[in-house]
Amino acid sequence: MKKIIWSTISILLACILLGYGAVKLNKPTTQTKRQNLIIYNWGDYLDPKLIKEFENKTGYHVVYETFDSNEAMYTKIKQGGTAYDLTIPSEYMVSKMKKANLVEPIDTKKISNFKYIDSNFLHQSFDPDNKYSIPYFWGTLGIVYNDKFVKKGSITNWNDLWKKQYHNKILLVDSARDIMGMSLASMGYSMNTTNSLRLHLAQTKLDGLGDNIKAIISDEMKMYMTQNEAAIGVTWSGEAHEMMENNSHLYYVVPNPSSNLWIDNFVIPKTAKNKKAAYEFINFMLEPKNAARNAEYVGYATPNWAAKKLLPKKVQNNKGFYPPDSTIKGLQVYRDLGSKVTQEYNDLFLEFKMYAH
């Protein structure tokens, strides 16, 4: 009987030990947590091969998630469900995240490759001392057109879009801030105006563009423009670059009298658990050869002056994507306008869309 009892006890002890061991094996250790770098970025906005190279070089495991809008990213980080170590907001969203105490200060002394960032993209109004953000990519809002339907060089100004000859030929990107901003810029007003009268005047002017509009769309614009199904599109430089890669008849211009300069940035959220890895990744991506490879993959302009020199000459010399400093200095960076004014932009744009041709 004792043998049976001791056998039973031995079996039970063995089971307990095995179960404990299994729990220990399955439970993430502190070391495992330290080895993860969790990145939250726009879709298809980073060369996957560079992630693999970073992992091989450092030993970190990159967990990569994507979002499709600044607002979606902001909401998820504010909720705090995932401990993101890095994310990539646009300029006005950096400002909003700062106000909401959602981002950590960045010590640029820990980022040796910070020296490669072009001064044109530093000390902007949304983060004057670059205390919270490091430029990642930049671009402009502009006009892409097809020389099969539009004489080359004939579009240089936002007001050109209102010409009767472009009846039913224009595609607009479905973005309240950009299209309202375009109209404001065409009248010489700030694209960051909070003046309600000027906003209504901008909407009224947009209404006059209605007969020239073929459609107000998003991703479909690339298909329409590359397949010669539309003559003109108002979109962002990176989107235009992709279209032009697939259609030699397309050209991109940053119109007068002014336009938007957008800047997407690395920031470290307050949720970060692995700041050391975040710093290492930022520095890795600012290495000129890596920044150049990433720019070629993504198709947007790099703020890294050394990386730009490594790009093909036809890209470096394309003034649509890398305009001269004099043009850049005249562009306007979006600011966080607050929820009330932002809603007014959205409401006026929605009214325009309802009656657009």
Buried b (16+ CB within 10 A) or exposed e, 34-62: ebbbbbbbbeebbbeebbeebeeebebeb
pLDDT for 140-197, tens place per residue?
999 999 999 999 999 999 999 999 999 999 999 999 999 999 999 999 999 999 999 9
Strands 232-236 and 134-146: antiparallel
Residue 224: φ, ψ to 5°: -60, -45
- Which H or E run contains 36? strand 36-42
The pLDDT > 70 percentage for the chain reads 90
pLDDT of residue 1: 37
Q: How confident is the model at residue 21 (pLDDT cuts 50, 70, 90)?
A: very low
Residue 7: the pLDDT is: 45
- Residue 73: C-alpha distances to residues 82, 94, 159, 217 (Å): 11, 11, 34, 22
Using the structure block, give the residue that is written with the tokens 């306007």. 332
Considering only CA atoms, which of 45, 148, 120 is closest in space to residue 88?
45
Give dist(CA 86, CA 69) in Å, integer: 16
pLDDT of res. 355: 85
Average pLDDT over residues 242-249: 94
| DSSP state at residue 46 | S
The pLDDT value given to residue 357: 64
Higher pLDDT, 357 or 340: 340
The answer on pLDDT for 349 being more than 50 is yes
Share of the chain above pLDDT 90, in %: 85
Residue 20 has what pLDDT?
46
Give the residue-averaged pLDDT of 235-260: 94
Rounded to two decimals, the pTM is: 0.85
Burial class (CB in 10 A: 0-12, 13-18, 19+), 260: buried
The reported pLDDT for the residue numbered 249 is 98
Helix (H), strand (E) at residue 67 = strand 61-67
Phi and psi at 186, nearest 5°, equal: -65, -20
Per-residue pLDDT tens over the stretch 101-135: 999 999 999 999 999 999 999 999 999 999 999 99
Q: In sequence order, what E strands does 175-277 have?
A: 213-217, 232-236, 250-253, 261-266
What pLDDT score does 219 carry?
Answer: 84
Domains of the chain: 36-137+264-322 (3.40.190.10), 139-261+332-355 (3.40.190.10)
Helix (H/G/I), strand (E/B), else coil: 42: strand
Indicate if the pLDDT at residue 9 is higher than 70. no
Q: Give pLDDT, residue 16.
A: 44
What one-character-per-residue DSSP string does 111-156 give? -GGGGGB-GGGSS-TTSTT-SS-EEEEEEEEEEEEETTTS-TT---
Where does the pLDDT of residue 4 fall: very low under 50, low under 70, confident under 90, or very high at 90 and above? very low
Question: Quick one: average pLDDT of 256-273?
Answer: 96
At 319 the pLDDT is: 87
**Cα angle 116, 121, 127; round to 5:** 115
pLDDT confidence of 29, banded at 50, 70, 90? very low
